Amino acid sequence: MEDVTGVFDHYRITVRSIWNTGFWPDPAFQDWEAQERFEEVSRILFDELVLTKLDLEWQISDIFRKPMPFFRIQPTSDYGCPVMIDREGDALTGGGVWNDPVNRLRPLEAELHFIQFFDWDKMNHIDLQHYMAGIAVFAAQPHLVGRRALIDRQYLKVFRVKQGEA
């Protein structure tokens, strides 16, 4: 696996800056329509700054909507890190109540696939400090497979899994 955390950080800083300096300061862009246009721009930038740079392809309409199995999110500390996991069914409905009692994750304890960066308030300045990931495998907690997890970026790295790697 290849550590691509720096590529993700470059994208994160770029897109955060575009929203915080280009969209948010202008009252004409402080509405949900502008936020939806920004999400379209964000998908295009992710496609170019991350996927194209890493010679990967993903349907642009699926970017930030479906877990990307070639990007794995892993905690960096052997002691694990805080994690928030959504309720069953929220991944399908787009809901977001992050109150599962499992609140800590150790490296290699679960297989997490990148979905998107996350901020609690999309209609304010953003930091994109959380990664949202799909839980693909969790041997100790199999009932969590298919749900989403939020992890603060300071606790993790992103790895590119090449075809044929486990």
Residue scoring higher pLDDT (6 or 120): 6
Question: CA 33: distance to chain centroid?
Answer: 22
Question: What's the mean pLDDT in 154-158?
Answer: 94
The string of pLDDT tens digits covering residues 27-48 is 888 888 988 999 999 999 999 9
Q: Per-residue DSSP letters for 94-106?
A: T------S--EE-
Return the pLDDT at 87: 75
83 is a domain residue: yes
Q: Which amino acid type is present at position 73?
A: I
Question: Which residues, 6+ apart, have CB-to-CB distance to 99 below 8 Å?
Answer: 84, 87
Domain residues for the domain of 46 are 2-160
Question: What's the mean pLDDT in 3-17?
Answer: 96
Domain count, the chain: 1
The string of pLDDT tens digits covering residues 63-95 is 999 999 999 999 999 888 999 998 776 555 556
Question: What's the mean pLDDT in 117-130?
Answer: 89
135 is a domain residue: yes
Averaged pLDDT of the chain:
89
DSSP letter, residue 154: G
Q: Which amino acid type is present at position 129?
A: Q
165 is a domain residue: no
DSSP letter, residue 162: P
93 is a domain residue: yes
Return the pLDDT at 6: 96
166 is a domain residue: no
Share of the chain above pLDDT 90, in %: 63
Region at 131 (left for phi over 0; alpha for psi -120 to 50; beta for the rest): beta
Question: Which residues, 6+ apart, have CB-to-CB distance to 54 below 8 Å?
Answer: 4, 7, 160
Separation CA 85–CA 132 (nearest Å): 10
* Residue 108 predicted with pLDDT over 80: yes
Return the pLDDT at 30: 83
